[in-house]
Structure 1
């Protein structure tokens, strides 16, 4: 089993912690506000350990970026030393939010958050995945939708992508629902999906959403 550090304590962290703990992995949750333990009781209830972000990154074999995308790059680059050589799973979308709380524009329109992270930390093995669905609970429950969704992988390190694909399997993603898009530059395509969320919600209402590929 793997020791996994999750940076962030929001809905993404909660969903992934539950799914990965059920698969037998050791979970360490890194928070910038690790002293605010009253509001983070769910971490202990899930059998995970709460610590600060640096300790979580340092102690884990694989690290997940579950922080808000607009803050991710600054936080992760501050952990450059702790993340050196490790697999970093980036699940975030870096956007400017509109008044309704939905994405209004991409913060990296000519590239992607994942590419910017990889460029800033060339010795970290970045893999983009799980950023084309919502709510976050779908990340660990892909079978809950009426049509099988897909999870995309983007990254320059083949071994890192195999590791991430294995963890996706632990979260309930069959291998035929995981699509390797290629290098880290391909992350800009699924990251742009977030701009489709507002019109979809306007058309369908606040229903669970994920991408599926018909073939």
Structure 2
């Protein structure tokens, strides 16, 4: 059992918290209030960032001490939204939210994952008609192994998990969010994941 804190209580955070609780982990959920987030992060071994990505850096940088020596699993995408509310651009072009978090939190082990799919797939990957992929980006091998185990608890098979390498590879998966609005406009809001055909 791992002690986890999920920062963000929207659809993504609530879904992850419920699924990880069902898997036997001790999970607390904090809204965006600074006090709640600090308290939850302080007590956890692993912290999941499920806050809106455009404001994540500022929020999490304020938790530097609470996140010291912790694993931070970043599932958010930092986007600029278009008039229809769907992603139209990246907040950190040429970089990524994950890289910005790692730079701001040098004593925290940041791992990027679960950001290349609609949120229902995060906790139910086997509901898709084809095998999906989930990607890992991060500089710490031990942290990525812990995240692999959490992904397995969420229903991801080992062969569906691809380690892309260091934290800089997160800029590729974060850029994939730009597919999402076009897919939604074309096919509707049906669960999907961006995967690699092999």
Q: What TM-score do you get using the length of structure 1 for normalisation?
A: 0.90
Q: How far apart are 1:33 and its partner, in Å?
A: 4.4
Question: Quick one: which of 59, 71, 81 aligns to 1:97?
Answer: 81
Which residue is 1:123 aligned to? 107
Q: Structure 2 stretches of 5 or more lacking a match?
A: none
Q: How far apart are 1:205 and its partner, in Å?
A: 2.1
Which residue is 2:31 aligned to? 31
Deviations 1:66-107 (A, max 9, x none): 000001000000000000000000000000111111101100
Q: Structure 1 stretches of 5 or more lacking a match?
A: 35-50
Is 1:147–1:212's contact at 8 Å kept on the other side of the alignment? no
Q: What is the Cα-based RMSD across aligned positions, in Å?
A: 1.2
SS at match of 2:14: helix
CA distance in 1, matches of 2:176, 2:108: 25
Alignment coverage as a number of residue pairs:
198
Q: What TM-score do you get using the length of structure 2 for normalisation?
A: 0.97
CA distance in 2, matches of 1:138, 1:201: 15
Is 1:90–1:127's contact at 8 Å kept on the other side of the alignment? yes
Question: Quick one: which of 145, 159, 179 aligns to 1:176?
Answer: 159
1:133 aligns with 2:117: yes
Is 2:120–2:191's contact at 8 Å kept on the other side of the alignment? no
Q: Which runs of 4+ in 1 moved over 4 A?
A: none
1:213 aligns with 2:196: yes
CA distance in 2, matches of 1:61, 1:92: 19
Question: Quick one: which of 171, 176, 192 aligns to 2:175?
Answer: 192
